[in-house]
């Protein structure tokens, strides 16, 4: 299915990106660039290809690949290269000589040992922008450790922010380190491309899963660093943010769940018709328990009507079917069908709009080396 092509005037139309990365972080950055209009060629090992092809979130398989691989590699072309083979390295060099951006996430030192690292590629193409993602930086005692999302979360300290006081460390229910690192790399690549347009020089842009997780916590880490080194203290009741006072949290109603954001206690007293005397932070567990007991007595719609009439910040807690059934979600048009070889699946679209339009492309993720022959001909190979 090749319908709904990207419009020709997206910001990165005409740029060539080589996605040499695997798993999530690097390929997610390449996906962002593709959604911005760049032509992205995914470079994989012959045979099995990207390990992410067999990284299944459920038992759903579409055309021999996981839904995760389809989601993160849509709208890319595919070529297979064995970097240990001289002929394949030469093909890579020809591609890199024409490319604007190359993305890698090898373990530190691997690309350099293979002769395909940022210095080697940049020496051939001084205007090239190379982006690399590692687990924990290029050197230091953690550099050789596996760069994996859950491990980066564990090392970052972030697991002590979610959950309630007695829960122990709580990981995010998403591959948040991978996704954040991909976003940060995209930001750096775009900045380097702007500089190249001014000065005519390429760049090597680097980040890591750990740096992404540290940056993600910049607000609360700044508080910790300037607050006598005190650690955050998660609430015992309905914790939603270790540093924020009552009522900030998620509460069960008679028929669902309700999120309450920052609100002065006197306004809450009026809305809920209960006394809430005390300090919103120091007494937050007691106050949240009072709120929890009261909120559980009525249904979500009743509370939403009462609270919104008083301009109290609140929202229902939706699951995915509830979200997708809502007109507010449908108006965003954030879903699209993509396909390959007759198989079709639904996935998300770019979260950006340009001049009122959101990019749409129905092309699914490539098979291993699906476009290899055509790309080699384009490079002038027989």
Active site residue 149: no
Distances (CA, A) of 116 to 95, 101, 250, 305: 12, 14, 50, 60
Classify residue 5 by its DSSP letter: P
**Residue 281 DSSP SS3:** coil
Cα distance between residue 233 and residue 241, in whole Å? 9
> Given 178, 227, 299, 319, which residue is catalytic?
178
Cα distance between residue 41 and residue 78, in whole Å? 6
Per-residue exposure over 108-142, b if at least 16 CB sit within 10 Å of its own CB, e if not: beebeeeebbbebbbeebeebbbbbbbbbbeeeeb
Quickly count helices (H) and strands (E) in the chain.
15, 15
Cα distance between residue 263 and residue 123, in whole Å? 57
**Residue 273 DSSP SS3:** coil
Helices (H), 170-232: 176-199, 209-216, 218-225
In 3D space, the residue among 152, 193, 150 whose CA is nearest the CA of residue 29 turns out to be 193
Cα distance between residue 36 and residue 247, in whole Å? 40
Asked if 290 contacts 239 with a C-beta cutoff of 8 angstroms, the reply is: no
What is the radius of gyration, based on Cα positions, of the chain?
A: 24
Asked if 280 contacts 225 with a C-beta cutoff of 8 angstroms, the reply is: no
Q: Which residues are catalytic?
A: 178
């Amino acid at each position: 299915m090749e319908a709904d092509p990207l419009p020709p005037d997206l910001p990165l139309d005409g740029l060539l990106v080589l996605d040499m990365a695997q798993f999530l972080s690097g390929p997610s950055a390449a996906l962002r660039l593709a959604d911005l209009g760049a032509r992205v060629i995914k470079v994989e090992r012959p045979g099995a290809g990207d390990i992410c092809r067999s990284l299944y979130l459920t038992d759903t398989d579409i055309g021999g690949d996981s839904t995760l691989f389809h989601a993160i590699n849509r709208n890319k072309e595919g070529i297979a290269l064995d970097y240990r083979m001289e002929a394949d390295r030469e093909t890579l060099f020809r591609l890199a000589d024409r490319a604007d951006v190359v993305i890698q996430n090898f373990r530190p030192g691997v690309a350099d040992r293979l002769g395909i690292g940022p210095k080697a590629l940049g020496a051939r193409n001084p205007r090239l922008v190379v982006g690399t993602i590692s687990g924990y930086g290029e050197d230091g005692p953690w550099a050789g450790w596996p760069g994996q999302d859950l491990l980066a979360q564990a090392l970052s300290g972030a697991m002590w922010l979610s959950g309630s006081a007695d829960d122990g460390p709580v990981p995010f229910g998403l591959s948040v380190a991978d996704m954040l690192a991909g976003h940060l790399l995209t930001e750096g690549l775009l900045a380097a491309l702007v500089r190249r347009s001014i000065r005519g020089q390429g760049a090597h842009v680097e980040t890591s899963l750990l740096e992404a997780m540290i940056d993600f916590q910049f607000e609360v880490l700044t508080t910790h660093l300037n607050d006598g080194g005190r650690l955050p203290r998660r609430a015992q009741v309905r914790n939603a943010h270790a540093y924020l006072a009552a009522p900030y949290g998620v509460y069960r109603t008679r028929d669902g769940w309700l999120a309450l954001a920052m609100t002065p206690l006197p306004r809450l007293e009026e809305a809920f018709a209960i006394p809430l005397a005390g300090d919103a932070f120091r007494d937050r567990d007691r106050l949240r328990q009072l709120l929890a007991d009261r909120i559980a007595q009525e249904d979500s719609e009743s509370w939403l009507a009462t609270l919104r009439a008083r301009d109290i910040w609140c929202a229902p807690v939706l699951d995915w079917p509830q979200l997708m059934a809502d007109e507010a979600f449908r108006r965003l048009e954030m879903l699209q069908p993509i396909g390959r070889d007759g198989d079709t699946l639904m996935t998300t679209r770019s979260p950006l709009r340009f001049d009122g339009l959101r990019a749409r492309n129905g092309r699914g993720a490539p098979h291993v080396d699906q476009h290899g022959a055509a790309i080699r001909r384009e490079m002038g190979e027989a």
